[in-house]
Structure 1
Amino acid sequence: MTVSRALRGERYVASTLRERILQTASDLGYRPDPDIAKLMTHMRRKRLTQAPRTLAFIWSDKVSPDTELSPWSRQLIAGARERASHLGFHLDDFYLAAKGMSGRRLSEILEARGISGFILSPLISRSRGHVSMQWEKFSSVVVGLGYARPPMHRVHHHHYLGMMTAMRQLKKLGYRRIGYYGGSVVDDRMFGAWSASFLSHHPLPLKQAAELLNLKREPKREDFRRWLELRQPEVVIESGQSLENWLEDIPIPEKLGLVTLGWRPDRSHWAGIDQQVDVLGATAVDLLVAQEQQNERGIPEHPKIVMTEGIWRAGETLRRLRV
């Protein structure tokens, strides 16, 4: 059992003894048998089905209960919970921004409850920051990109591909003066993927395309309407601001087309990119459970970034302009 624990990287073996075992295994040419590993994984899952282990989903910014979370957040946690249940785990919510909470205190709470792994939600309110969890004690996955530290395993939507797909669909419909209005914090958090893809796949020359790009730290109706009147786009791509509420006097899509990069079932009449956020949540669980099964803890030496794709949803906010 001690040898098995050492080979699987468990922390219950003294470091000197673990090094001796690993060195001996290397000298003997030992390699794990994938068939045996598959069988043991199956046996662990069977036991977990009978007595589910708990994993944590930590909301980095939110403090409200599930019923008040945004549609995006509800879809994310629903996909994560469904996948966790399928794999024999239970997922509990924790709020890092709750009053009196800190990364150290939350780490102590998780450890006291025997929770050895967690998923950290995106840093919605900022693109930079440091999360001070006691990372060395846990398996972990971060949702989203941004410049948050430390660098951990991450999952995120393929935003560059999503914008590229939207641009291609618009060009097929004959749109040329394509505008993009959104928040700069969101774009910055994804390393400029949306804005870079917008400029790269725009049908107009770069200088004209840049004039149709407007990112604001705090998007506002007045600024949007001024930009709309000045640049006269044929269609506007938005990243989730519900611009439809700012266009009550403009016929859609007769005078202006609209595309969202955050399509939702409750706005199914919109055309845009369905990020399939439930798949994103499920993928985060897959990556976390893989670490759990290998007893991997702490800050990874080689962090992974796993991307999920969205799909295009046709809608009533677009029409064909040109053949």
Structure 2
Amino acid sequence: MGYRANPTVAKLMFQLRASRTPRYAATLALLNAAPDPTYLKSVPTFRRWVEGATDRAGQLGFSIDTFWMHDPAIRPARLISIIESRGIQGLLIAGIQGNRLPEAFDPLWERLPSVIVGVRPEWPQIHFASNDQYSTMLRCAREILALGYRCPGLVIEPLVDGIVDFKFSAAFRVATAALPAADQIPVCAHERGRQEPFRKWFREHRPDAIITLHDDIRKWLEMGGNRVPDDVGLAHLDLGPQIEGWSGIDQISEQVGSAAMDLLSGQIHRNEQGIPPFPKCVLIEGRWVKGTTAVKQKGAAKRRGSSAAAAA
């Protein structure tokens, strides 16, 4: 009958609720979509997502039950039945390796509010929260260039870049597009446990700084006689407590998990169920961390002629 919410009253009610200890609201399911059940604890970024989501859930009055989607002892139909029998009100999915979830679990997202944390899903097309990977790469590369590096290179595993729709490599090319052609270096495909492809790329292109997601690059550089940051700068795209001293971007993954929980809570309060017609995404900006592995350069214009980088 023409009712319109009063924003002043709504603000007051929000403040009153925020000042109270949250009462139990509902139970949510955290679906571990990783191939290994330990990944949500052992992979630092995944762990920070879960910590942020769990903290936010507690603030909102939700409890969380955790399930592993790939448990060989529980078939998908059985897991769906368990979730429904427990009166679960919403789903938070984390640890997805790729952009698609198994269609055997479709009845879950068709019936319950659901949010994916970390990546944009191709299927199911539901709400998600993630770091803004394009912005992360752009900011990192620009910080490196601002320090005086003139020929930075990117080392990244193609599978990882593909999961985020190649945002890392795309943003790197944009950030370095204005460099002289001789200083534009092709992306190096990281291969786990294989140094030789990296060494060959490093010898051929002689980058004066490397941007990467992979911790082992520093060890490979130092094994080749290259000092960080004296001979080559180094920046990480996903800093965390497990990486000390590096320069790079902290993706603030706890905030990604918290944002995902806010998306899920909103759906529950609005009684929205099923796959949404227009999926929403929340992107969290990372922050630059100065660190010690990338430093202000002197005489950067002469760096391409030095022999230090050829030592790999």
TM-score > 0.5, shorter chain as reference = yes
Distance 1:45 1:137 in 2: 29
Structure 1 length normalisation: TM-score? 0.81
Q: How many residues align?
A: 294
Distance 2:253 2:179 in 1: 31
Q: For residues 199-226 of structure 1, what are the alpha-carbon distances to aligned partners after superposition, in whole Å with 9 as ceiling and x for unaligned? A: 00115246852x3312357573221111
Distance 1:164 1:48 in 2: 41
Which residue number corresponds to residue 56 of structure 1?
29
Closer, same or farther: CA 186–65 of 1 in aligned 2, 3 Å: closer
Distance 2:113 2:47 in 1: 23
| 8 A contact 2:32–2:40 mirrored in 1 | no
| 8 A contact 1:181–1:215 mirrored in 2 | yes
- For 1:165, the aligned partner's letter is R
1:228 to 196, 202, 206: 202
Q: For residues 37-58 of structure 1, what are the alpha-carbon distances to aligned partners after superposition, in whole Å with 9 as ceiling and x for unaligned? A: 6788789889993335211111
Closer, same or farther: CA 219–65 of 1 in aligned 2, 3 Å: closer
In the TM superposition, what is the alpha-carbon distance from 1:292 to its structure 2 partner? 0.8
1:69 to 33, 42, 47: 42
Closer, same or farther: CA 152–207 of 1 in aligned 2, 3 Å: farther
Q: Does 1:237 align with 2:211?
A: yes
1:273 to 219, 240, 249: 249
- For 2:129, the aligned partner's letter is V
* Matched-pair identity in %: 32
Distance 2:101 2:22 in 1: 37
Distance 1:292 1:68 in 2: 27
Distance 2:58 2:167 in 1: 33
Residue 265 of structure 1 aligns to a residue in which SS?
Answer: coil
Which segments of 5 or more consecutive residues in structure 1 lack a partner in the other structure?
Answer: 1-27
Closer, same or farther: CA 274–63 of 1 in aligned 2, 3 Å: same
Closer, same or farther: CA 240–57 of 1 in aligned 2, 3 Å: farther
2:231 to 247, 252, 255: 255
In the TM superposition, what is the alpha-carbon distance from 1:189 to its structure 2 partner? 1.4
Which segments of 5 or more consecutive residues in structure 2 lack a partner in the other structure?
Answer: 300-312
Which residue number corresponds to residue 191 of structure 1?
165
Structure 2 length normalisation: TM-score? 0.84
Which residue number corresponds to residue 20 of structure 1?
none
| 8 A contact 1:48–1:89 mirrored in 2 | no
In the TM superposition, what is the alpha-carbon distance from 1:149 to its structure 2 partner? 0.7
| Equivalent runs, 1:1-323 vs 2, <5 Å | 28-31=1-4, 49-65=22-38, 68-124=41-97, 126-128=98-100, 130-131=102-103, 132-134=105-107, 135-202=109-176, 203-205=178-180, 208-209=183-184, 211-216=185-190, 220-249=194-223, 250-322=226-298
Residue 154 of structure 1 aligns to a residue in which SS?
Answer: strand
